[in-house]
Structure 1
Amino acid sequence: MTTAKDIMHTGATWIPAHETLDRAAQLMRDHNVGALPISENGEQDRMVGILTDRDIVVACVAMGRDPSKTTAGDLAQGTPRWIDAEAEVEAVLEEMQTHRIRRLPVVENKMLVGMISEADLAQHLSDDQIAGWAEKVYSRN
């Protein structure tokens, strides 16, 4: 049985909701990631969203907003999705497909332990599994 913990990459980093988007971009660069879970108040706190590099570009820069004044919390929307570290890979795929998301935080004992991205799926799943996932996540329906 393959679990979320088996396919995730470790070292996921939080960004507090009060931090600015320019700081978020620096963290993404420093950690070589494209997404950061947003915490309500700080490290290992309640997750209020996920910030992606695309969010910074589309919802801030392209809208003429200043990334040094816009916070991660300003862009946190909806209900954040996550998966338990012991969840089977089928549950991971279902969560990502159902909510059409490409990055999924992995939690163990209420603590962030990693993140699952498209690259992680590509490294650990069969071509058929990847094709099915991509069809559901990227379809316009």
Structure 2
Amino acid sequence: MTTARQIMSKGTECVGEQETLADAARTMTRLGVGALPICGTDDKLKGMLTDRDIVVRALGAGKDPNATTAGELAQGKVVFVQADDSVEQVLRKMTQHKVRRLPVIDDHRLVGMVAQADVAKALPEPQVGELLEALSTD
């Protein structure tokens, strides 16, 4: 059985819940990514922050990116997978929640990220098609 741990990108950086959106945007630029997990001062996952969140939910709403914190945009239940979850479980979560990236947790700590492309490489073709179809519809 292939697990999330085997296909994830390791060394994932978090944006702290008290960091500003401007800081988060600089981190995204430095890392060349469009999403970052939001971590609390307790090292627990608080949510995900995307480049789209920064633009639409903050800038588009007139919020100051130098004063608004990442934690202010964290909302709802955090969707994640356990490191030892199977690729099929990862697929189900991505499909169910219509997300392209999932944080990977081991012993309550963030250990990596799984992206749609990681799952696609690990699954048989018909399942990849199901994932792409599910993520392409609203």
Could you tell me the TM-score, scaled by structure 1's length? 0.90
- The 2-side partners of 1:70 and 1:15 are apart by 13
> Which residue of the partner structure matches residue 18 of structure 1?
18
- TM-superposed CA distance for 1:11, in Å, is 1.6
Q: How does 1:28-107 map to 2 (within 5 A)?
A: 28-41=28-41, 45-107=43-105
What CA deviation, in whole Å up to 9, does each residue of 1:27-74 have, x standing for no partner?
Answer: 1111222111111226xx121111011111111112222111111011
SS at the partner of 2:66?
A: coil
Contact 2:87 2:122 in 1 (8 A): no
What CA deviation, in whole Å up to 9, does each residue of 1:75-133 have, x standing for no partner?
Answer: 00010011111111000011111111111001112221110112322333333222101
- The 1-side partners of 2:88 and 2:119 are apart by 11
Segments of structure 1 that go 5 or more residues without pairing to the other structure are none
Find the partner of 1:120 among 109, 118, 121.
118
Q: Percent identity?
A: 45
SS at the partner of 1:134?
A: helix
SS at the partner of 2:105?
A: strand
Segments of structure 2 that go 5 or more residues without pairing to the other structure are none
Could you tell me the TM-score, scaled by structure 2's length? 0.92
- The 2-side partners of 1:126 and 1:22 are apart by 40
SS at the partner of 2:84?
A: coil
